Amino acid sequence: MVNNLNKNCSHLQKQKHMSTDSKAGLPFIPTSEGTTKAPLRIKLAELLDQMREIEIDHDGKIYRLRLTQANKLILTA
């Protein structure tokens, strides 16, 4: 599962350096440099890679992001 997540998210670093599109309709977030940029948008299908659940490691704590049968997202610690 972790290898799939690493493989799927390897493109995220590249996307962070791309220019933002103000037409996306996303709110702009101020950065420490005083500039603004839109948040990164990822399609859920790309993130889950045909799986129903992934694990996210945040500062050593594992969170589970799960797609329910009702097509809702649940994030649990």
Confidence (pLDDT) at 39: 87
Kind and range of the H or E run holding 6: helix 2-16
Other C-beta atoms closer than 10 Å to the C-beta of 35 total: 9
Please give the single-letter amino acid code of residue 48: L
Q: Taking residues 3-30, what's their average pLDDT?
A: 52
Given this model, what pLDDT does residue 35 score? 74
**Cβ atoms of residues 57 and 67 within 8 Å:** no
| pLDDT tens string 33-50 | 777 788 899 999 999 999
Q: How confident is the model over 55-76, as pLDDT tens digits?
A: 999 999 999 999 999 999 999 9
Could you give the domains of the chain?
Answer: 2-76 (2.10.70.10)
How many angstroms separate the CA atoms of 75 and 43, rounded? 16
Separation between Cα atoms, residue 51 and residue 46, nearest integer Å: 10
- Total residue count of the chain as it appears in this document: 77
- pLDDT value at 19 more than 70: no
